[in-house]
Structure 1
Amino acid sequence: MTGTAWTSAGMSEPATARGRQLRERGMDQERPTIDTWQDPPFNRWTFSHVDEFVTSVSISTGRERSQKAVNDLDAFSGKVPELERRLAQTWTDVILVVHEDRIVGEWYGEGSRPDDRHLLMSVSKSICGIVVGALADDGLIEPSRTVAHYIPELAESAYGTATVQQVLDMTVAVEYLEEYADLNSHVRAHDRVAGWRTRFDTDPRDTHEFLMGLRPAGEHGKVFQYCSANTDVLAWLVEVVTGKRYHEVVGERVWSRLDAQSDARITVDSSGFAFANGGISCTARDLAGVGRLMLAGGEFDGRRIVSDGWVRATMAGGDPEAARGLPYQDIHPNGSYKNHWWATGNERGSVYAVGIHGQYVWLDPPTRTVIVKFSSAPEALGRTMNSDHARLFQELCAALE
């Protein structure tokens, strides 16, 4: 990365106290590194330039079209209070609202453009859920079978006796600490192995070896445990049953069938294995196609991508009791997780995909609305931020009724 690129594009902070303070302290003169690119203030720029730090490959759509910004939220004027302030407060880079397959609201923050690919973080997991569903539809994957049935290399790991469905629903009992700020956590080691941070000499060689080393932590299928490793197990499974690399299957099975305007990108480790749990980058308009697909029961413009049965099961959600007592249910009391998607359990049947630092795809079935939001929040997680987003999305959807 050149100094010019960072100076001209990297510090396009919103007019907030944080942005002013950082500039006053001269932080705009620093350069992001492999160990700081995910941190503020750098993430404002790096989340749209991931492949300058981490090796990435294309998820092909077979086309590339230039897009123009609209920057128009007039449809919500007077209906959603203090919208501009709330977008700034939640560190918004892009927000896009699609109602009945038509864009009705779109806003790009300073330095963001429609052609920019933005890192999805764990929204990537929900795309993986669709891919696995499509392969299950074709009989290539049977969700009730154990992971070891398909991947013998994982027989002695935590995943050996877990079923594919338990992996999809995150009810695998595995020793895996998903604490992003803990330098000694499993998720940090996972990042290092994937090439997202500087490797330690003691780290596994690649993601396959890392997954084989994860140990069981109880009985599977009883308790919801959010674990990013689960998604990479599914990606490995996808490669085994198709004989192709994960990114190729996503391109063939999903991206090329969504009429996406441009290729997506996904980071890969030293062996070329994709970081399926968080490594996809794409444009907001293309990601909206994933939401449209779900609201249309697995079809996109008349093309079947995944079965209606798979989508209905996903939208219905999982077992709320499996997540009982978790902070998620402070916001969504009947919330659950199914097929790598979050179900709110609210009266509207809203379902969503979410990634750290504020990445969202929110689905509102009654109004057939998809909301895509890209953000560069300074913290990875925050209960207040999650509830702020939920309220904002609900108000945007209500304004379209």
Structure 2
Amino acid sequence: MRKFGKWLGRILLVLVLVAAAVGLWKREEITRLLAVNSLFSQDKIVHNFSNMNTAFLNTPVDRGAGPTSALTYGDAYTPPAAVDTWIKERNVTALVILKDGAITYENYFHGTQPEDRRISWSVAKSYLSALVGILIDEGTITSIDDPVTKYAPRLKGTAYDGASLRHVLNMASGVTFDEDYLDKNSDINRMGRILALGGKMDDFTAELTDTFAAPGAEWKYVSIDTHVVGMVVRGATGRSIADLLGEKVITPLGLEHEPYYLTDGVGTAFVLGGLNITTRDYARFGQMFLQGGQWQGQQIVPADWVNASTVPSAPTKTGDIGYGFQWWIPAGAAAGEYMARGIYGQYIYINTARNVVIATNAADRKFREEGVAQQNIDMFRQIAKTQNGK
């Protein structure tokens, strides 16, 4: 019996050592998985959204060695009381307003700072759309009506076989993808775990085989469509999205701080929501679009693409919010009124007629409640309308 106890003790010691070794080997993956599980918790969400690079794999987006193209300050805007109430209700962490290209209001909340590089979530989709427009203008991508398999042959035989670049830009691929953030077993949350554990986003996408409609027949917002846009861009150029965006968009804009993308285990940028930039620099991107793709005398994004991508071309239902090429167009929008939008309250709102850009970040855990999205749009419109009392 004593001998058995000795052997049992040795076996337990070996098991403990093996467990410790596995723990060390997988420590980073376990840390990222734990970060995913607590990413949106009430006590951590604000900090997490400004510090994504401390928990996830990431890669820098080069801002270049050129000088910062500083934004100027205009006449100070004093928001009406309704704006202050909205900031509190929607757990806003940053708000930057531009009028006539100058900052009229800038404020940060909940202990966050101006230099925080904040997670974009789906606002990142509009950046990728801008890059597509540039590549089409350069002739690297022949047409948005090309099949995605022309540039991403790995998608042959998958749910995306038969879809065009236009279809995925419009979120009209017809591919079945569950984007319920509250369901831990949904496709979007399974994808998040793959990202956290260092898996490959391309593998995940290539495993999708089900469709609910023919390409172009119906609109349904599925974020994985944007990853396919990224696969097309990478296939067409043979380069990473981070390198391309840095060279063709970020460097010409002269950002104040270097952005970064979250990545999967092989360094592929999480293009559908992993871009991290300061709020002031989000506003700078919006101002460039408001100016028809120009920034300080340089045409960064082709004007034709700015116009084409920001009008409601997707087959959405009549009277509902519209969708272009990875840009949202509010119901009842005036000409030149559109926005980039991400979960938990990330926005770049552009109102061309009033020459106003609003960039806001938030940690709004109630963002999916009925009426919240419209409340945000109404607030942006009120801010645009009350600039300088006009």
Question: Same fold by TM-score, threshold 0.5 exceeded?
Answer: yes
Q: Does 1:361 align with 2:348?
A: yes
Q: Which runs of 5 or more residues in structure 1 are unaligned?
A: 1-31, 200-204, 326-332
| Residue aligned with 1:362, SS | strand
CA shift for structure 1 position 218 = 2.4
Q: Does 1:372 align with 2:359?
A: yes
Q: Does 1:207 align with 2:216?
A: no
Question: 51-60 or 310-319, which moves further after superposition?
Answer: 310-319
Q: Does 1:323 align with 2:316?
A: yes
Q: Is the 8 A contact 2:61 2:261 kept in 1?
A: yes
Distance 1:133 1:254 in 2: 11
Structure 1 segments (4+ residues) deviating >6 Å: 64-68, 70-73
- Superposed, which structure 2 residues align to 1:104-143 within 5 Å? 104-141=104-141, 142-143=143-144
Q: List per-residue Cα deviations over 1:256-305 (Å, max 9, x = no partner).
A: 11121111111000111110000011101111121111111111111111
**Could you tell me which residue of structure 2 aligns to residue 339 of structure 1?**
325
In structure 2, the CA distance between the partners of 1:187 and 1:380, relative to structure 1 (3 Å rule), is farther
Q: Does 1:300 align with 2:295?
A: yes
**Could you tell me which residue of structure 1 aligns to residue 263 of structure 2?**
268
| Residue aligned with 2:81, SS | coil
Distance 1:75 1:211 in 2: 46
Match of 2:249 among 254, 278, 293: 254
CA shift for structure 1 position 63 = 4.7
CA shift for structure 1 position 189 = 1.2
- What letter is aligned with 1:373? T
Distance 2:109 2:75 in 1: 13
Q: List per-residue Cα deviations over 1:91-120 (Å, max 9, x = no partner).
A: 010000011110011111131111111111
Distance 2:317 2:68 in 1: 46
**Could you tell me which residue of structure 2 aligns to residue 91 of structure 1?**
91
* Structure number with larger C-alpha Rg: 2
In structure 2, the CA distance between the partners of 1:280 and 1:60, relative to structure 1 (3 Å rule), is same
**Could you tell me which residue of structure 2 aligns to residue 26 of structure 1?**
none
| Residue aligned with 1:353, SS | strand
In structure 2, the CA distance between the partners of 1:63 and 1:335, relative to structure 1 (3 Å rule), is same
**Could you tell me which residue of structure 1 aligns to residue 212 of structure 2?**
217
CA shift for structure 1 position 381 = 2.2
**Could you tell me which residue of structure 1 aligns to residue 376 of structure 2?**
389
- What letter is aligned with 1:189? R
In structure 2, the CA distance between the partners of 1:64 and 1:308, relative to structure 1 (3 Å rule), is closer
| Residue aligned with 1:194, SS | helix
**How many residues were matched structurally?**
352
TM-score (norm 2): 0.85
| Residue aligned with 1:162, SS | coil
Distance 1:110 1:238 in 2: 37
| Residue aligned with 1:190, SS | helix
In structure 2, the CA distance between the partners of 1:75 and 1:138, relative to structure 1 (3 Å rule), is same
Q: Is the 8 A contact 2:73 2:102 kept in 1?
A: no
Q: Which runs of 5 or more residues in structure 2 are unaligned?
A: 1-33
**Could you tell me which residue of structure 2 aligns to residue 4 of structure 1?**
none
**Could you tell me which residue of structure 1 aligns to residue 63 of structure 2?**
61
CA shift for structure 1 position 39 = 2.6
- What letter is aligned with 2:269? A
Q: Is the 8 A contact 1:64 1:263 kept in 2?
A: no
In structure 2, the CA distance between the partners of 1:229 and 1:262, relative to structure 1 (3 Å rule), is same
Distance 2:69 2:302 in 1: 31
| Residue aligned with 2:375, SS | helix
CA shift for structure 1 position 371 = 0.1
Distance 2:213 2:303 in 1: 34
CA shift for structure 1 position 391 = 1.2
